[in-house]
């Protein structure tokens, strides 16, 4: 296998080499044309103001071009393409149609509710352990960011982040064509999983690394360091954000983090049994756009059956 982690570190180093002022516009214009970037959305439209490729990849966009839907819904955390979405069936999620990965392997042991290390449990037990309300269901949504997309990601709901688990892993490509061929791709790759709660119960957001995406930054997590040399393969590092019985509160639409190049954001969350996505597979979506039809505020709903 190619040394993708090393290549990604080299690519990150190249991205941060400052370009001479005279070279910025021709080099960055080539990237803009190649990947169809919309410069009119950027806060800074003058390419000469970006000192290097990395700064351009992580460019901010104007608030007005990404209005946030503040209804009773979950919104897209990123600009990108919907790879898959739906209800979680037992302990398995689909990364693309017909290709699955394990929820328990992806998130890791449920230790955010206890300080004891829990051994691997049955799929059914793990699934139920995540639910705050046994009448609710688990849902997931995967958004793939291509190289030309806006590279920052935002909070999809108002929620409290309590825990982070950072998995050391591979940096395989997460392009949909690769996801169709490698089962468990997202569980193999390096990822930072943030776990907490929202008003319907369990909520998690995972930023998944990929080839040439050796750097994932999260606004409130200064201890996160991705694609670090010397980490033992298959290990993970944990951090608890709870202080005085409360975690970090983030608001819907608030800046959450950024990738150095395109990658993937995976949402796994609890919601009532009447939660209904309004998406299509491979649909293009933008930050702040609603993922679902507005939810009922009623608690008098049928139980969620785990198939």
Catalytic residue, from 154, 155, 204, 215: name it.
154
Polymer length in residues for the chain: 307
Q: How far apart are the first and last CA of the chain?
A: 37
Choice between 306 and 243, residue whose per-residue pLDDT is larger: 243
Residue whose C-alpha is closest to residue 204's, from 247, 245, 243, 156: 156
154 in active site: yes
Pairing state of beta strands 284-285 and 80-87? Answer: antiparallel
Q: Using CA atoms, how far apart are residues 86 and 268, in angstroms rounded to an integer?
A: 10
Catalytic residue, from 8, 102, 173, 263: name it.
263
Q: Tell me the two tokens of residue 111.
A: 């230790």
pLDDT over 90 percentage in the chain: 53
Choice between 225 and 13, residue whose per-residue pLDDT is larger: 225
Q: Is the pLDDT of residue 6 over 80?
A: no
Backbone angles phi, psi at 10, to 5 degrees: -65, -45
Residue whose C-alpha is closest to residue 60's, from 154, 156, 150: 150
Q: How many CA atoms lie within 13 A of 71 on its CB side?
A: 12
Model confidence pLDDT, tens digit, residues 173-218 = 677 777 777 877 778 788 899 999 999 999 999 998 866 555 788 9
The separation between CA 142 and the C-alpha centre of its own chain, rounded to angstroms, equals 8
Q: Using CA atoms, how far apart are residues 102 and 108, in angstroms rounded to an integer?
A: 10
Within 8 A by CB and 6+ apart from 46, the residues are none
Within 8 A by CB and 6+ apart from 234, the residues are 168, 169
Q: Which of 3-17, 38-52, 213-227, 288-302 has the lowest mean pLDDT?
A: 3-17
Choice between 297 and 269, residue whose per-residue pLDDT is larger: 269
Choice between 275 and 185, residue whose per-residue pLDDT is larger: 275
Catalytic residue, from 76, 79, 173, 290: name it.
79
Structural contact between residues 66 and 288, judged by C-beta atoms closer than 8 angstroms: yes
Residue whose C-alpha is closest to residue 30's, from 47, 15, 17: 47
| 256: helix, strand or coil | strand
Q: Using CA atoms, how far apart are residues 7 and 221, in angstroms rounded to an integer?
A: 25
Within 8 A by CB and 6+ apart from 54, the residues are 12, 15, 16, 260
pLDDT over 70 percentage in the chain: 84
> What are the start-end ranges of the E strands in the chain?
80-87, 92-96, 99-102, 137-144, 152-154, 159-167, 191-198, 201-208, 216-218, 236-240, 248-250, 255-259, 264-271, 284-285
140 in active site: no
79 in active site: yes
């Amino acid at each position: 296998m190619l040394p993708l982690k090393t290549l990604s570190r080299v690519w990150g180093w190249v991205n941060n080499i400052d370009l001479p002022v005279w070279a910025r516009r021709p080099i960055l214009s080539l990237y803009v044309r190649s990947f169809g970037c919309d410069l009119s959305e950027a806060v800074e439209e003058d390419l000469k103001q970006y000192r290097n490729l990395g700064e351009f990849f992580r460019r901010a966009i104007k608030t007005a071009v990404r209005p946030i839907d503040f209804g009773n819904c979950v919104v897209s955390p990123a600009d990108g393409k919907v790879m898959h979405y739906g209800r979680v069936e037992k302990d398995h999620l689909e990364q693309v149609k017909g290709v699955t990965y394990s929820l328990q392997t992806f998130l890791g042991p449920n230790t955010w509710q206890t300080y004891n290390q829990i051994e691997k449990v049955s799929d059914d037990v793990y699934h139920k352990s995540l639910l705050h309300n046994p009448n609710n269901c688990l849902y997931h949504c995967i958004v793939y960011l291509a190289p030309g997309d806006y590279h920052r990601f935002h909070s999809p709901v108002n929620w409290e982040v309590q825990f982070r688990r950072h998995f050391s892993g591979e940096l395989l490509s997460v392009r949909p064509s690769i996801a169709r061929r490698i089962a468990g791709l997202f569980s193999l790759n390096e990822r930072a999983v943030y776990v907490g709660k929202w008003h319907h119960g369990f909520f998690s957001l995972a930023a998944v690394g990929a080839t040439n995406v050796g750097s994932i930054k999260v606004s409130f997590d200064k201890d996160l360091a991705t694609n670090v040399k010397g980490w033992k393969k298959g290990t993970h590092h944990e951090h608890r954000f709870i202080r005085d019985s409360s975690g970090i509160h983030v608001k819907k639409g608030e800046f959450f983090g950024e990738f150095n190049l395109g990658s993937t954001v995976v949402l796994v969350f609890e919601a009532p049994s009447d939660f209904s996505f309004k998406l299509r597979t491979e649909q293009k979506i933008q930050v702040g756009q609603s993922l679902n039809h507005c939810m009922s505020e009623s608690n008098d709903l049928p139980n969620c059956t785990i198939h």
